[in-house]
Amino acid sequence: MEQNNPFSIKNWAEDDKPREKLMLKGKAALSDAELLAIIIGSGNRSESAVDLSKRILAHVQNNLNALGKLSLKQLTDFKGIGEAKAISIIAATELGRRRRAEDTVDLQKITSSKAIFEIMQPIIGELPHEEFWVMFLNNSNKVVHKAQLSKGGITGTVVDVRMILKMALEQNALSIVLVHNHPSGKLVASDSDIEITKKIQIAAKQLDMNVIDHVIISENGYYSFADDQKL
């Protein structure tokens, strides 16, 4: 059993164990082999998880892209890698691939109310019911996240201001854009629209955030609070 194996990570100095090293020194301090060792969890009778990871990485010339292309069969050919460990490796490399794909997507920049309309019209412009959305922007006015806050109507009891601010803090947003649709096509701000905008604007200022616009969208057009100098 591995607990009797002198090569086992369990017998290493605390500072050399990958999991403990990550907690003590941070993820950047770990080598590729150590990170892979955390994923597979254990090695085999003759080598630790780190040594097994080094052998696997050496097989692909220490190229993580090549590691991500190994099949289930190719991974299980390594002594100490069963199906469960192989699946964990495949899942981890797939997450890495998806993250890289997301990183290559340029964030959409808000330069005008028209830019807001062009982003949100395909999402809510033709719906038969009302939806209230919030766009969260970074310091470059680029959209880092957008989320639906309510569906079916816009009232003070439906739109949770605390939830908006919580999400803004989670996204490290500096600015907020409010968006909702009018299925009727009537591009006029209601008393309820104005009330909610002011409520969110006041709350956001307490956290040094700005509500830079509230845009009402229909199928073919939009109304902007900012353009109408209502903010």
Would you write out the chain's pLDDT as a tens digit for each of its 231 residues?
A: 444 565 565 665 544 588 888 888 888 899 999 999 999 999 888 899 999 999 999 999 999 989 999 999 999 999 999 999 999 999 999 998 888 766 555 678 999 999 999 999 999 998 888 999 999 999 999 999 999 988 875 543 367 899 999 999 999 999 999 999 999 889 999 898 999 999 999 999 999 999 999 999 998 899 999 999 988
Q: Which tokens is 86 given?
A: 């192989």
Domain 113-224 has CATH 2.40.110.10: no
The residue extents of the domains of the chain are 2-103, 113-224
| pLDDT at residue 101, as a whole number | 67
Q: Could you count the other beta carbons within 10 Å of the beta carbon of residue 171?
A: 18
115: left (phi over 0), alpha (psi -120 to 50) or beta: alpha
The reported pLDDT for the residue numbered 154 is 52
User: What's the pLDDT score for residue 6?
Assistant: 54
Alpha helices, H only, 111-205: 113-124, 161-170, 191-205
Q: Residue 217: which H helix or E strand, with range?
A: strand 210-217
pLDDT (0 to 100) of residue 194: 92
Q: What does the pLDDT read at residue 156? A: 39
CA–CA distance, 24 with 126 (Å, rounded to integer): 52
Q: Quote the pLDDT of residue 104.
A: 52
Instruction: Indicate the length of the chain as a whole number.
Output: 231
**pLDDT at site 55:** 95
Closest CA to 213 of 120, 106, 107: 120
Contacts 24+ apart (CB under 8 A), 18-24: 18/49, 18/50
The DSSP bridge pattern shows strands 222-224 and 143-151 to be unpaired
Q: Which pLDDT value is given to residue 2?
A: 44
How far apart are alpha carbons 52 and 121 in whole angstroms? 52
- Provide the pLDDT for residue 224: 97
Residue 136 pLDDT: 96
- What pLDDT score was predicted for residue 1? 43
Is residue 26 within 8 Å of 66, Cβ to Cβ? no
pLDDT at 98: 83
Q: How far apart are CA 7 and CA 54, in angstroms?
A: 14
Q: Which residue has 């989670």 as its token pair? A: 170
pLDDT given at position 10: 61
